[in-house]
Chains A and B, each alone.
Chain A
Amino acid sequence: MKNPYIPYEVKIEEAWYETPGDRCIKTFKVTFADEKVWDDWSHLPGQCAMVGIPGVGESMFCISSSPTEKGYLRFSIMKMGKNTSALHELEAGDSFYVRGPLGNNFPLEEWKGKNVITIGGGIGQAPLRPVIQWIRDNRDDFGELTVIYGARTSADHCFKPEFEDLGSCGDACCHLAVDVEEEGWPHFVGFVPTLLMEVSPSPENAIAVTCGPPIMIKFVLENLEKLGFAPEQVYTTLENRMKCGIGKCGRCNVGHLYVCKDGPVFSYSQLKEIPEAFA
């Protein structure tokens, strides 16, 4: 068995900023330095990886590309601390290191034939992107796809060109929001949970997936309940400080669950049993 602490080197093919500011988000499109790694690599939407630079550190990020996008991986990384700042310094042609895939995935096999609603906020769209992409690439397996996404301002929206494409090609119904009024913004103004009520998707034969800041998730979950979604129909991801990513170092637990190993994807019915889940 491969040593799970040893990362693979990846080369950056392309890198671009999604959003500006102190906590800017940069997306990296990478491929393994050693092509043979692809033979052993397989991941599913929702899974994560430890990304880092030897000498700086490692942090957990979701793989924001779908396995249906062949030949590369994508990570969208918000600048937060030591490691993310160092990663932001890197450009096309540079390399960094990746260890994974880690954690569980969204059960897309089980969702076949259902309508899927994704509800994202800010960088929380990163784990939802592979879900959307997977559905687009297996379009006939799923019912309607509704994408709800918001950020503070339009400049803070990740993956902008993709949303435009998504709305116009008819693969999905897109609903975008900004928190505060801004000139020329044609879509919804307000918070994501409110937009969700506005869109008011039917719970029938549906699955709702939500990722974003904890406070948004809290209200989205409440509103989904109001809309008649049962806890088993609702999925989210949890975020905790992580180190090993493989259920050893102990720190990522919520109750008896290791978020790195048993998660990051959980159904709301699972989390309802765990008092610490939304701490």
Chain B
Amino acid sequence: MAVKKLSKDKVKEALQELTKFRLIAPAKSDEVVIFKQIENPDEAYLEYGNSTVPPKRVVFPQTETLFRFLRGSPELKEKDVEEEGTTVIFGLRPCDARAMAIVDRLFSWDYEDPYYLKRRQLTTLVGLACVEPPSVNCFCTSLGGSPFGTEGLDILLTDMGDHYLVQALTEKGEKLQETLSAHLEDAPAGDEKKAEELAAAAEGKIARSINTEGIPEKLPTLWEHELWKKVSAACLGCGICTFLCPTCHCFDIQDEVEETGEGRRARMWDSCMFSEYTLHASGHNPRPTRRERTRNRISHKYSYYPKRFEVIACVGCGRCINLCPVNIDILEILEQVVDAS
């Protein structure tokens, strides 16, 4: 597939071109980087490490309407995702794209989730390779990913200093490259080789790791192990680790009605770390404490998900480690799982 170059002084005009689609890019407010729709190329902030909130919120919005209704009228009006139009996520990290590829399996398993899948179909992912790992807690290479990983991406951009190397990876990517052709030039000879070297160097800089072999099978055998009590003792039961995880995908469904009688059924991110997540109407809670909830979070990612979908639901982005207010560290938990007997 075609390999091109995007000169850094042409990034803005390329982004401008892309605003004819729904263009999503990392943007900075205060010190926080979040993916959001941008109208003006100046809003895009590409010199970032990784975003606090992962770009999953674009394809799986934190709150989204399923259908609308008017109280008293039998008609239900399905939300039409198509209206959102063609979307380009520009500059996401390879781990976050890989996360989407992983979550695709859940949303297309058995019943197809029309909202998510339609949006995925409408979305082109332009990745930005991690020449420098964004955080000390990155461990993508332990999970089959890499700072230059391409899984899930349509285009990979590599920062070569004064320009980006632009590699189309899929048909969708080629189409987008076509759209951008006025702003692209032929890639300098040797760029691809240099990118490979950068990739190898970046992989070498990933400092944390875990050997996942055997963990999916071992986890269910440690059900009553004392480690769960220990690793969850400090847990606050907040939603940081799950909401900010690029593979976490659990949601709640709620109805909302305005005084006018207009209403909607909507879904919104939910977290297995919240106490009411599994609470029965009777008051019984099968996961009554943070111990059971932590055990479920880890088991879901590292055992249940691979058992059904043949891939661990973790990409090693390190967000849950970096942002946990009490320094609960998933790698430490996994090490304890490996060592436990």
Contact = CB atoms under 8 A, between A and B. Distances in A.
Do A and B touch (CB < 8 Å)?
A: yes
Contacts of A256: 303-304, 307-308
A249 interface: yes
Interface in B63-88: 66-67, 69, 71, 74, 76, 78
B223 A6 contact: no
B286 interface: yes
Given A55-B69, A255-B220, A256-B308, A249 B251 contact: yes
Interface stretch (A106-114, A131-139, A149-157, A238-246): A238-246
A4 B279 CA distance: 24
A250 B309 CA distance: 14
A157 B228 CA distance: 42
How many of chain B's residues touch chain A, expressed as a range?
Answer: 35 or more
A56 B257 CA distance: 9
A56 B254 CA distance: 8
B270 A81 contact: no
Contact of A248 (B71, B111, B296, B308): B111
Given A239-B280, A243-B252, A256-B307, A248 B113 contact: yes
B281 A84 contact: yes
A16 B232 CA distance: 48
Name, among A55, A56, A247, the residue most crowded by chain B CB atoms within 10 Å (CB to CB): A55
Contacts of A251: 250, 270, 272, 277-278
Nearest to A23: B282
A95 B74 contact: yes
A115 to B, nearest CB: 33
B71 A55 contact: yes
A1 interface: yes
Name, among A7, A239, A244, the residue most crowded by chain B CB atoms within 10 Å (CB to CB): A244
B74 A33 contact: yes
B272 A250 contact: yes
Main secondary structure of the interface of A (DSSP, over half): loop
Given A247-B110, A249-B253, A276-B286, A54 B278 contact: no
Contact of B278 (A33, A56, A240, A255): A240
A243 B69 contact: no
28 contacts: A1-B112, A4-B112, A5-B114, A5-B265, A6-B78, A7-B76, A9-B74, A54-B71, A54-B76, A55-B71, A57-B254, A80-B281, A81-B281, A214-B284, A240-B286, A243-B252, A243-B270, A244-B251, A244-B267, A247-B109, A249-B253, A249-B267, A251-B250, A256-B303, A256-B304, A256-B307, A261-B110, A279-B287
Q: What are the 5 closest A-B residue pairs judged by CB atoms, nearest first?
A: A250-B250, A256-B304, A80-B281, A279-B286, A81-B281
Interface of B: 66-67, 69, 71, 74, 76, 78, 106-107, 109-115, 220, 223-224, 249-255, 257, 263, 265, 267, 270, 272, 277-282, 284, 286-287, 292, 296, 299-300, 303-304, 307-308
